[in-house]
Structure 1
Amino acid sequence: MEFKKVSVIMSVYNEKEEYLKKAIESILTQTYQNFEFIIILDNPLNNNAKNIILNYKKNDKRIIFLENTENLGLAKSLNRGIEIANGEYIARMDSDDISVKNRFEKQVEYLLNMAEVDLLFTWTCLIDENDKYSGKFKPENKFCNNLKKYFFEKHLFAHPTLMTRSEVLKKLKYSSDFRYSQDLDLWFRSINENLNFNILEEPLLKYRTVTESLAYHIFKQKRGSKYTFKVFNKNISKYYNNYYFVKRYIYYLLKVIIFNCVPEKILELLLILKRRLNKIFSN
């Protein structure tokens, strides 16, 4: 196999120290070793994270450390890494997840053998705060053959599993118009460019999900719905005659209306009911 260089890009904000260490170590111990690891600290006040990163950097010259002078958000932070990336491929990583040891080996081999693929994702294992397995996210690759339908119907792509040819991100970058849902915006723009997506049907990343308070969960849902609808609204002129797009557009519009109109206490009660029903039907 040809050992092409991979640029790994990871932004750090306020993640727990133990999660950050596990994320970094999961990259440094990859079976595929030809990479540079660009870490961007997006919180200049987080001295603990800075010290952790610098300690790893002292022992591994593949780490490139960038520190923002102010909180720029994920999109602008990732773009700083993309601008200096020297690899033929660019891989994403989140600072609280864990990459499986052969993730890069598998993804590089796939991209070498499938020259028509531009953006490659993988399945994920879901883990909790204690690294305990809690499920899988495994969309089928066949859905990539008809993205104009399935992209609007299903959640297909786990952002931190992305490995792409560097020219894709060098050209498109992440849009700073979206402080959140910037990955969804990138997928839209990639589809509009007729780029090819594939999913490697193996769980090559452990994706961390943590228990949240009701209030914070509702806040995140409200924020996510707002920015997701913003992305869909940006693309309505291209897809207004696509049934699957319009259906999803209406869904997110209704979510935004509900989150803005329904009192938070009612939303909390509905969330409690939903969790209880999920527990009943999962047993």
Structure 2
Amino acid sequence: MCGIWDIVNMTEYRIPKVSIIMSVYDGIDIRFLYKAMDSIFNQTFKNIEVIIVLDDVKREDIKECVYFSDKGFEKKLILLENSKEEGFVACLNKAIEKSTGDYIARMDSDDISLPNRIEKQVKFLEENKEIDTLGTFAYEIDEADQIIFENSMPISYEEIKRNFLIRNPFIHPTLMFRRAFFEKVGPYNPVYRYMEDYELWCRMLYKGVYAENLPEFLYMFRVDKNFYKRRSGFKKAILNAKIKYSFIKNMHLPPHAFLYLIIPFIVKTAPEPLSKLFYRYFRK
């Protein structure tokens, strides 16, 4: 497997382990879940464990899908079941605590990881020890798996930091973290539900923890009919402004940076037709 990395002395190389974490809830479209699971277990990189948190899931078809997906894959699946709904952020933190991998990779239950996604991210992180987390570019797809947008992101750490107030610099489910990342930055903060990733990046940049995006399209991010609705609203605009305010204050940015606090209100409180237009420029 690692021969493709051109490793000369195989006896001195230990293949790292990757924990892929995912939360699943009752509202998931079972068709999309099957595709997500299939994409995980058919990665070219094989030294993985898959940690799935079922968040108060009652549907038997979901449980059957998850259990069936692990058939023939050497019991790589670790399943955690919440007896009551705990929410997305709590599920992520629970999966991270349970993980044993050298790397922790995100994955959403209705998306698709392209076959060499994990392999390429591991290769990059193995060769760039100063980077603690790595995202990728992604294709946005509709409910029929058709590509509707190619979402490229800032690549270097300096670009990420420079663009933070303008847009979310990562596509959250494409991220792969070193285990040490969460020791340095801390876990996801449940106070910032729906903005938990953006707040985490704020702490990351403040603490000087290095991150980059791999400039390759390795992920398919599903945009369903409720996509814009989930990302809009006054409460989310307030949370966004609080995160930006913290970033400006902690990074000692000049006063004109506070103008960026206005952006979330425009984007997140606008009527849906306008929010769709703004979305291409202001992800969060």
- TM norm. shorter chain > 0.5: yes
Counterpart residue number, 1:192: 206
Tell me which of 4, 16, 24 is aligned to 1:12. 24
Counterpart residue number, 1:145: 158
How far off its partner does 1:76 sit? 0.6
Could you say what secondary structure the match of 1:221 adopts? coil
Is the CA contact 1:240–1:246 (under 8 Å) kept in the aligned structure 2?
Answer: no
Output one character per residue of 1:133-173: Cα deviation in whole Å (capped at 9) or x when no partner: 1111112414x224442211233210000001012125511
Identify if the C-alpha distance between structure 1 residues 15 and 219 changes in structure 2 by more than 3 Å, giving closer, same or farther. Answer: closer
Could you say what secondary structure the match of 1:252 adopts? helix
Q: Which amino acid aligns with 1:5?
A: K
Written as runs of structure 1 = structure 2, the 5 A alignment for 1:3-42 is 3-13=15-25, 14-42=27-55
How far off its partner does 1:70 sit? 1.2
Moved more, 226-235 or 54-63: 226-235
Identify if the C-alpha distance between structure 1 residues 48 and 169 changes in structure 2 by more than 3 Å, giving closer, same or farther. Answer: farther
Could you say what secondary structure the match of 1:204 adopts? strand
Q: Does 1:221 align with 2:235?
A: no
Is the CA contact 1:149–1:244 (under 8 Å) kept in the aligned structure 2?
Answer: no
Counterpart residue number, 1:164: 177
Identify if the C-alpha distance between structure 1 residues 277 and 189 changes in structure 2 by more than 3 Å, giving closer, same or farther. Answer: closer
Q: Does 1:78 align with 2:76?
A: no
Identify if the C-alpha distance between structure 1 residues 47 and 241 changes in structure 2 by more than 3 Å, giving closer, same or farther. Answer: same
Q: Which amino acid aligns with 1:151?
A: F
Could you say what secondary structure the match of 1:87 adopts? coil
Identify if the C-alpha distance between structure 1 residues 36 and 277 changes in structure 2 by more than 3 Å, giving closer, same or farther. Answer: closer
Identify if the C-alpha distance between structure 1 residues 86 and 219 changes in structure 2 by more than 3 Å, giving closer, same or farther. Answer: closer
Identify if the C-alpha distance between structure 1 residues 272 and 179 changes in structure 2 by more than 3 Å, giving closer, same or farther. Answer: closer
Output one character per residue of 1:38-70: Cα deviation in whole Å (capped at 9) or x when no partner: 011113323321221122245430010001111
Output one character per residue of 1:64-105: Cα deviation in whole Å (capped at 9) or x when no partner: 000111111111101111111111000000000000000011
Q: Does 1:232 align with 2:233?
A: no
Q: Does 1:45 align with 2:58?
A: yes
Q: Which amino acid aligns with 1:46?
A: R
Is the CA contact 1:30–1:104 (under 8 Å) kept in the aligned structure 2?
Answer: yes
Identify if the C-alpha distance between structure 1 residues 226 and 47 changes in structure 2 by more than 3 Å, giving closer, same or farther. Answer: farther
How far off its partner does 1:247 sit? 2.4
Tell me which of 98, 121, 129 is aligned to 1:107. 121
How far off its partner does 1:224 sit? 3.3
Instruction: Supply the distance in 1 between the matched residues of 2:277 and 2:127 (Cα, whole angstroms).
Output: 46
Instruction: Supply the distance in 2 between the matched residues of 1:110 and 1:39 (Cα, whole angstroms).
Output: 25
TM-score (normalizing by structure 2): 0.83
Moved more, 115-124 or 58-67: 58-67
Q: Which of the two has greater helix per residue?
A: 1
Output one character per residue of 1:184-221: Cα deviation in whole Å (capped at 9) or x when no partner: 01101111111111110000000101134xxx845641
Instruction: Supply the distance in 2 between the matched residues of 1:84 and 1:273 (Cα, whole angstroms).
Output: 41
Is the CA contact 2:160–2:212 (under 8 Å) kept in the aligned structure 1?
Answer: no
Moved more, 16-25 or 237-246: 237-246
Written as runs of structure 1 = structure 2, the 5 A alignment for 1:98-137 is 98-137=112-151
Counterpart residue number, 1:155: 168
Counterpart residue number, 2:282: none
How far off its partner does 1:24 sit? 0.6
Instruction: Supply the distance in 1 between the matched residues of 2:132 and 2:98 (Cα, whole angstroms).
Output: 20
Moved more, 26-35 or 174-183: 174-183
Identify if the C-alpha distance between structure 1 residues 219 and 12 changes in structure 2 by more than 3 Å, giving closer, same or farther. Answer: closer
Q: Any gaps of 5 or more consecutive residues in structure 1?
A: 260-266, 279-283
How far off its partner does 1:243 sit? 5.2
Instruction: Supply the distance in 1 between the matched residues of 2:76 and 2:134 (Cα, whole angstroms).
Output: 23
Is the CA contact 1:159–1:183 (under 8 Å) kept in the aligned structure 2?
Answer: yes
TM-score (normalizing by structure 1): 0.84
Task: Tell me the C-alpha RMSD between the 2 structures.
Answer: 2.6
Instruction: Supply the distance in 2 between the matched residues of 1:252 and 1:21 (Cα, whole angstroms).
Output: 35
